[in-house]
Chain A
Amino acid sequence: MSAVIDDHGHADHAHGPAKGLMRWVLTTNHKDIGTLYLWFAFSMFLLGGSFAMVIRAELFQPGLQIVQPEFFNQMTTMHGLVMVFGAVMPAFVGLANWMVPLMIGAPDMALPRMNNFSFWLLPAAFILLVSTLFTPGGGPNFGWTFYAPLSTTYAPESVTFFIFAIHLMGISSIMGAINVIATILNLRAPGMTLMKMPLFVWTWLITAFLLIAVMPVLAGCVTMMLMDIHFGTSFFSAAGGGDPVLFQHVFWFFGHPEVYIMILPAFGAVSSIIPTFSRKPLFGYTSMVYATASIAFLSFIVWAHHMFVVGIPLVGELFFMYATLLIAVPTGVKVFNWASTMWQGSLTFETPMLFAVAFVILFSIGGFSGLMLAIAPADFQYQDTYFVVAHFHYVLVPGAIFGIFASAYYWMPKWTGHMYDETLGKLHFWLSFIGMNMAFFPMHFVGLAGMPRRIPDYNLQFADFNMVSSIGAFMFGTTQLFFLFIVIKTIRGGPPAPAKPWDGAEGLEWSIPSPAPYHTFTTPPEVK
């Protein structure tokens, strides 16, 4: 265990990080790359958030005030793309980079150079994507789902940049996923059997398989677009014998598993955090693993529930409705497990726990609206309204994003060696919680009352709730700058963190000092 204890490496020879900028450019260290991913994700979160602020400012009142419809459409598109591919996915890859090796007792990720490459593709992809906003004709304006033919025949010229950006993101994700799988399957410490792995590792393993399965489908989808636009093919053009609905099938075959890619790692993190602060083991570890696997499997056979009004045949509608309803079963198992873990525990509510509990409750609300959306006849009324916007923001904001915040607070002592300021952390939670609910809950109401999504202007009957939504969104947005302050404050100082700052925590990551030394587990630990 000598390598583990070697944390006073002032005169550290070859083992410490390189100095200066090149440390970050050339690094193959999983902790450095994890840090890069997390900072990148956070900066994209702020960028995507600022797009959302433009959207909410325009929707603050009826009428066109701040932006024109063309630009509004670019904002909704870029907000979605940046949040999905720039914020949520890289944040989870960052967490995986940092925590998977520490949780399974591995010295690093299995493929460190590829790890470096997969990160550095991302800034390139996003510079390419965001630069389109400054081109004549503007950036992508066809929604993050980029349905053909709006995104092909009728697209601005920048669509080609968009396509290449998606390709780069896809390559990055696939490499990241391969790395996670290779690490988990090959580098586990002796004794760390699959069924002893922390759930975060399990959920990431499953997520990585989802990524490998669907990112190539997305790549195929945008490649067909590229061919249609530049090389005269007609995959998605009815006039040339192609099929615009084919686009949607291909897109959602990627898109639905993608939804779970953005939530499964959060399930895993929360499954560590709730037992820690309940001081009680997770109620059903095995069933959680099986539930995750079931969700992943089902996610492949429900894609057309995004297309209930496209005109698929009755039998198709019924199949996809039943399959979608079925997803509620394993998801329910997870929620019941978290609730039972808390039952008769000895609970405390540090910031990670606050985010985790809010995660369970608010994600469930998103799940409920998902269940409603699964009922095909009712979906005829919900489809493409703000009800859907409310639904997926409830799954993604208090789901994915709160899961990431919970993880960040939970592991920040391990990353920085300092405890964050608990009062500030709690304040961040409550402001986010109130802002987020104020922003997204009224969207259920305007959606049910008949407000379509992706419109820059609306009838007066929707005015009041939209104003409430906007105020909540501004509050949530501003609060995230406060999170930046908390993180910087924690990096710069604060009470030193012990190796295991949470008395109820379990796992190998707490067996090494805080901050985690640059190299850990160079000698594998024994897991009993």
Chain B
Amino acid sequence: MMRHPHVWMGLLLWSIFSQAQAAWTVNMAPGATEISHAVFDLHMTIFWICVVIGIIVFGAMFWSMILHRRSTGQVAAKFHESTTVEILWTIVPFLILVAMAVPATATLIKMYDASEPDIDIQVTGYQWKWHYKYLGQDVEFFSNLATPADQIHNKEAKGEHYLLEVDKPLVLPIGAKVRFLVTSADVIHSWWVPAFAVKRDAIPGFVNEAWTRVEKPGIYRGQCAELCGKDHGFMPIVVEVKEKADYEKWLGERKAEAAQLKELTSKEWTLDELKERGDKVYHTTCVACHQAEGQGLPPMFPALKGSKIATGPKDAHLSIVFHGKPGTAMAAFGKQLSEVDIAAVVTYERNAWGNNKGDMVTPKEVLELKQAESK
């Protein structure tokens, strides 16, 4: 779409046509919240202070460079050392900094006041996706990158929201004070939505607070901001802010879905049904490391095709998916996926890419494992 085969022509034209297209954005956007506006104002204030100081200092330097050249017959003056001047150029910048620190402090205090929220959402970073849990609402889901791999590998044209689109966005109502409780299940990630001026590191073992109150409905996009491994560039954040009523409707639908999922556990599944569901789960959850054809990326990410685990006893296979493998990137999916999805993906792995075990793990077996664990 917006690829540029004519690089040099483009560069040439750039200098001539300076009318700003979106692609040449040079500044931060003011964002969609009171806080983000305050941050934007701080950013612009400190920027203009720097510009003014820069003009004075660089101006003086260019003045000397043009007028005080030896080639113009200039004889060097002898002056040096002046305590008065030194004190002056220590005090004046200090006062400017104090002036700058005052509004910065005020904004920071506001940003830190996460008290009395209307909604609490637990945000958990995983390699490489986000998990959102509406506390007290029984609604939780993962949010995965939705950009097709073919776009990333240049096999098809890239869309407008390339790498900034997810399967299930976080949904918020307008006007509500939303508190984010940010943590991580593996390495450090950072949850960042520029339009809210919210960026908080997601750290395993810690719960960090942040909050926002969005006044305008819309779709806001961000990305993980802390290097978290291979697919750090591929775990975007999308927040859909809806009118209050639409939000309630959406929340109701999610609750119904959750209830439905619970029923699925008790359903009698066939091998083919599980495989079909497992195919989808595999390609959202496992594919980043174990790859589309189960070939993995050895030695960091082992192959599943023909592997001892995927073709061995099914209890051991289920156990490793459920508990993960400590000391490696293999996470414990027992807490991340529903019983149905774990059963489905294990069944799929045992019956895909030539792993023809023909057996299956049922959601009930997973539930039993879960109950045995919690005793």
Give the interface of A toward B (CB within 8 A).
61-65, 69-70, 73, 136-138, 141-143, 147, 149-150, 153-154, 156-157, 238-239, 243-245, 278-287, 309-311, 314, 317-318, 321-322, 325-326, 328-329, 332-333, 335-336, 339-349, 357, 360-361, 364-365, 368-369, 371-372, 375-378, 380-381, 383-385, 444-445, 448-450, 452-465, 467-468, 471, 504
Cα–Cα distance between A465 and B10 once the two chains are bound (Å): 11
Interface majority SS (helix, strand, loop, mixed), chain B? mixed
Q: Does B176 contact A (CB under 8 A)?
A: no
- B233 close to A456 (CB less than 8 A): yes
The proximity string for B residues 89-124 relative to A, scoring 1 for CB distances below 8 Å and 0 otherwise, is 110011001001100110111011000000000000
The proximity string for B residues 73-94 relative to A, scoring 1 for CB distances below 8 Å and 0 otherwise, is 0111111111001100110011
- B100 close to A325 (CB less than 8 A): yes
Report chain B residues within 8 Å CB of A348: 69-71
Q: Which of A283, A346, A385, A454 contacts B68 (CB 8 A)?
A: A346
Cα–Cα distance between A409 and B76 once the two chains are bound (Å): 23
Report chain B residues within 8 Å CB of A238: 203-206
- B76 close to A279 (CB less than 8 A): yes
- B227 close to A368 (CB less than 8 A): no
Report chain B residues within 8 Å CB of A371: 46, 49-50
6 tightest Cβ-Cβ pairs between the two chains A and B: A238-B205, A455-B233, A311-B208, A368-B50, A344-B77, A384-B225
A-B pairs with CB below 8 Å: how many?
A: 318
- A64 close to B154 (CB less than 8 A): yes
Interface size class of B (residues with CB under 8 A): 35 or more
- B154 close to A347 (CB less than 8 A): no
Residue contacts A-B, CB under 8 angstroms, 19 given = A154-B229, A278-B68, A281-B80, A282-B80, A321-B104, A322-B101, A328-B93, A347-B74, A348-B70, A364-B58, A383-B190, A445-B26, A448-B28, A449-B25, A450-B223, A453-B227, A454-B227, A458-B233, A460-B23
Q: Output the least CB separation between A126 and chain B (Å).
A: 23
Report chain A residues within 8 Å CB of B199: 309, 380-381, 383-384
Cα–Cα distance between A368 and B55 once the two chains are bound (Å): 12
Binds A, one of B131-139, B157-165, B342-350: B157-165
Cα–Cα distance between A343 and B152 once the two chains are bound (Å): 54
Cα–Cα distance between A485 and B298 once the two chains are bound (Å): 43
Q: Output the least CB separation between B188 and chain A (Å).
A: 6
The proximity string for B residues 6-48 relative to A, scoring 1 for CB distances below 8 Å and 0 otherwise, is 0100110010000000111111110000000011001100110
Cα–Cα distance between A63 and B159 once the two chains are bound (Å): 12
The proximity string for B residues 235-268 relative to A, scoring 1 for CB distances below 8 Å and 0 otherwise, is 0000000000000000000000000000000000
Cα–Cα distance between A239 and B97 once the two chains are bound (Å): 42
- A378 close to B89 (CB less than 8 A): no
Cα–Cα distance between A448 and B26 once the two chains are bound (Å): 7
- A69 close to B231 (CB less than 8 A): yes
Q: Which of A365, A372, A444, A463 contacts B46 (CB 8 A)?
A: A372
- B89 close to A154 (CB less than 8 A): no
- A377 close to B107 (CB less than 8 A): yes
Report chain A residues within 8 Å CB of B194: 381, 450
- B90 close to A385 (CB less than 8 A): no
Report chain A residues within 8 Å CB of B108: 314, 317-318, 321, 376-377
Q: Evaluate whether A150 and B187 lie within 8 angstroms (CB atoms) in the complex, with A243-B205, A311-B200, A348-B70 already known.
A: yes
Q: Which of B53, B70, B101 contacts A325 (CB 8 A)?
A: B101
Report chain B residues within 8 Å CB of A341: 80
- B39 close to A332 (CB less than 8 A): no
Residue among B23, B190, B209, B233 with max Cβ neighbours from chain A (10 Å): B233
- A310 close to B64 (CB less than 8 A): no
- B69 close to A346 (CB less than 8 A): yes
- B23 close to A464 (CB less than 8 A): yes
- B57 close to A364 (CB less than 8 A): yes
Q: Which of A137, A309, A448 contacts B200 (CB 8 A)?
A: A309
Q: Output the least CB separation between A301 and chain B (Å).
A: 16
Q: Output the least CB separation between B281 and chain A (Å).
A: 22
Q: Output the least CB separation between B166 and chain A (Å).
A: 13
Q: Output the least CB separation between A244 and chain B (Å).
A: 6
Q: In chain B, what residue has the closest Cβ to A309?
A: B199
- B38 close to A377 (CB less than 8 A): yes
- A375 close to B200 (CB less than 8 A): no
Q: Does B198 contact A (CB under 8 A)?
A: yes
Q: Output the least CB separation between B123 and chain A (Å).
A: 13
Q: Which of B68, B233, B327 contacts A342 (CB 8 A)?
A: B68
